[in-house]
Structure 1
Amino acid sequence: MRIFVLSGQSNMAGRGGVHHRRWDGVVPPEAAPDPSIQRLSAALDWEEAREPLHADIDTAKTCGVGPGMVFARTVLPCLQEDNPGKGARTGIGLVPCAVGGTAIREWARGEFLYEQMVCRARVAAGYGEIEAVLWYQGESDAESDAATAAYNGNIERLITNVRADLEMPQLPFIQVALASGDKRNIDKVRSAQFSVNLPNVVTVDAMGLALKEDNMHLTTESQVKLGKMLAEAYIENFLTPTC
């Protein structure tokens, strides 16, 4: 399998279709299950991936549609083209790790969420190659002037630590620049995201995607668009030959 780690906070975990703490159960065709796409459950078992991907990971809140399934379905044909004549059909393994409402300090080395993410990634790596980490986080840090000021250093440290702990110094990291957050600091956090100065880091801009009535979370339609944007970023920057 080609492995992708999905991490960050609620917009990666998925709130598309969630209203009044209930998910409407609507799965867009772009996010439909595919036998070639598996997910690593909270119990560390592989199972067919289906929305909501983070239901057993981000358990304190109701999860809905996120970008992960759309991403996987979009890149799958390209990965299969990249693996011609090798017998078994190429599969994708998704490793959900995102938890809503979390600040980047909770993803520091030694903290529970960070160690859980690394542990899950290591388990997944026993079944294939880790291709990239997809990261969407920062809304919580925009609430604090101090956290905003420290964001660039914290995100670069996170990327460096993940690469070191997985022994993959060039591991691709595709992050999403915020579409929402505290109005006073959102531009500062976005600037910190775009200022990351590390190799193999690509930033996808979610600004302008439609938000739900809470003005914080992406709608289902926006999650579909984001999944495709993330896929395009991976294909264009990290997959050779591109399709």
Structure 2
Amino acid sequence: MKKNYALSHLLLTLSLLCIPILVHAQRDVYLVIGQSNAAGRGAIEAQDMVALSGVDLYNGTTWEAAQNTNAIHPDKETSDGGLNRYSTVRNTNQPQGLNFSYTFGRMLHDVTGNQIGLVVNAIGGSKIQEWEKGAPEGYYEEAISRINAALDLNGSTLKGILWHQGEANRSLSSYLTQLENLIFNLRTDLEMPNLPVIVGQISKQRTDNENFNTNIKKITDYTDAAYIPFTDYVTTDGLQTLDRTHFNSNGQRVLGYRYAAKALKMIYGYTYIENQVIYVKEDSFVRGGSHADKAQEVEDTNLTVRVKNYTTDQIRKGLLKFDIKDLTETSERLIVDATLMVNGNAPHKNTIDINFYDIDTTWSESTVTENNLVDGFTNLISYSTTTFDEDEDDDDNDGDVNELVHGGADLTEYIKDKYYLGTSIIALGLDAPINANYSFTISTKDDTANFELRPHIIISYIDTSIPPVLSNNTLVESEVFNSIKITNPVDDKLIISNNGIIGNVSIFSITGQQLKSKKINSSSGTLNVSNLPSGTYIVVIEHNNKKISRLILKN
């Protein structure tokens, strides 16, 4: 019979969310295992070769500063100096390029201040069956051996495992069962039954990966038979690839941020707000040739971007405008990633490239023309390789059977810059490379049949205004909070008591929305929560500009 994990999952999670006050450096260690995207296939660039003072890499003997090198694989002539270069199971015929662990470690250190240790032991092309305990390949035993050797070094504590694998098993019906067995064995042999494990989806640029990516979400759903306690997953929405399977350099960097954000939420108690959507505010396109002085009315049609190199009459450029003031209204957000999503179709099955530019925001969708084009079409900020596939059933009812499978462009660094500048309005220009000979059509805000598919930016961030959540049994060493006690789980009234003064008490949803607030100004008090639905909430207690947070379960 399926166990009800709701309360036990919350209480066990609370036991993990203790934030220690460190007197000296403590190395928080993570084991990174899986297949080629964990091994790394991204090109290593100058920004990836900086030695990270707050992140260590285990080299088989000792810890060294985590740093990618400019080594080149002798046969493949691609980057071979990635963080998987010390793997004892690596395939020497395959390059070890940039993987996600570099930005993962950097972001964890930057946010927590803790020294981060990485033990990377992946192998490209491996199947989950080959990672089973006792399998002839020995991948499992090597992972256990390496992590134990690293943990024997002073000051090292295992905090979690990152598992990124699945391309070789995208159609394996028993995958989730085998993943559960793998995690059980790892936790048992490492003597950590509640060890956090974060797994990754695989590329969304292949339609045959869809079922795998959908199923992997089930491990976090305690109502599902596939639920595995103390696990989470990261999405691969919008990540670009080299070949529809292996993430490119920028895809790996963003993937690392996503892994780090999940660890910050799951292990260190930070509030991670995921997948906030900002829809397009204005959209238009301009045409070349004899149409260069005409404003194009989009209305209920689609925004078209077309490049045919042999005639300027065929040129179309797209323009998108977004209002991001709700994001930039506070300075207490750490942007994790931002992805522009466009959806539409092409007149033929193809793979196309789209360039995205940071353009001037003063244009109007009803007046802009090619001959009066706004500035900025030289400020390239991102690109997308977009794949189309057949849709014989015409699922979106637009009359086309060649549909957009994936249309994401990474805007993470661009949105970070705009956020820190406090920018309210941004505008993007779209076109295709000079030598392209194709067109594509994008659903717009005026396309009523596909309104939900209109261009939008998906943004995730750490909300640093909410302090890390502490365990309910933790004593807070300060003159303000000596021994906070909170009823948990709670029914209709939240009862709070303390040896010292309690100031303001606020309740937030798990996504960071403030729901209730009350000034206590005493050593005890209550807060009526009878009108809150059952679920998990964050309680923030503050006094004299000092805060602590707790997770509670509302029955």
* TM-score class normalised by the smaller sequence: 0.7 to 0.9
Report matched runs for 1:132-151 at 5 Å: 132-142=160-170, 145=171, 148-151=172-175
Instruction: Name the residue aligned to 2:122.
Output: 98
- Assess if the C-alpha contact under 8 Å between 2:62 and 2:150 holds in 1: no
* TM-superposed deviation, 1:169: 0.5
2: CA distance, partners of 1:77 / 1:208: 25
Instruction: Name the residue aligned to 2:93.
Output: 60
2: CA distance, partners of 1:104 / 1:181: 22
* TM-superposed deviation, 1:9: 0.7
2: CA distance, partners of 1:198 / 1:223: 26
2: CA distance, partners of 1:138 / 1:200: 20
Q: Tell me, what secondary structure is at the counterpart of 2:109?
A: helix
- Percent identity over the alignment is 28
Alignment pair present for 1:205 and 2:228? no
Q: Select which of 26, 43, 66 maps to 2:45.
A: 26
Once the two structures are superposed, residues 196-232 of structure 1 have per-residue CA deviations (whole angstroms, 9 ceiling, x without a partner) of 21111001011331111x2211010111111111111
* TM-superposed deviation, 1:163: 0.4
Amino acid at match of 1:227: G
- Assess if the C-alpha contact under 8 Å between 1:107 and 1:113 holds in 2: yes
Q: Select which of 48, 53, 76 maps to 1:35.
A: 53
Instruction: Name the residue aligned to 2:61.
Output: 44
- RMSD of Structure 2 on Structure 1 (CA): 1.8
2: CA distance, partners of 1:192 / 1:130: 28
Report matched runs for 1:1-243 at 5 Å: 1-17=27-43, 25-28=44-47, 32-41=50-59, 43-51=60-68, 52-57=82-87, 58=90, 59-80=92-113, 90-111=114-135, 112-127=138-153, 128-142=156-170, 145=171, 148-179=172-203, 183-184=207-208, 186-196=209-219, 197-212=227-242, 214-240=243-269, 243=464
- Assess if the C-alpha contact under 8 Å between 1:140 and 1:181 holds in 2: no
1: CA distance, partners of 2:236 / 2:191: 30
Q: Which runs of 5+ in 2 are unaligned?
A: 1-26, 69-81, 220-226, 272-463, 465-555
Amino acid at match of 1:63: Q
* TM-superposed deviation, 1:28: 2.7
Instruction: Name the residue aligned to 1:22.
Output: none
Q: Tell me, what secondary structure is at the counterpart of 1:56?
A: coil
1: CA distance, partners of 2:139 / 2:46: 28
1: CA distance, partners of 2:51 / 2:97: 14
- Assess if the C-alpha contact under 8 Å between 2:55 and 2:115 holds in 1: yes
TM-score of the superposed pair, with normalisation by structure 2: 0.38
Instruction: Name the residue aligned to 1:83.
Output: none
2: CA distance, partners of 1:181 / 1:167: 38
Larger radius of gyration: 2
Amino acid at match of 1:9: Q
Q: Tell me, what secondary structure is at the counterpart of 1:36?
A: strand
Alignment length (residue pairs): 219
- Assess if the C-alpha contact under 8 Å between 2:206 and 2:244 holds in 1: no
Amino acid at match of 1:26: E
Decide which structure has greater helix share. 1
* TM-superposed deviation, 1:156: 0.8
Decide which structure has greater strand share. 2
Q: Tell me, what secondary structure is at the counterpart of 1:195?
A: helix
Amino acid at match of 2:233: T
Q: Could you say which structure has the greater relative contact order, defined with CA pairs below 8 angstroms and 6 or more residues apart?
A: 1
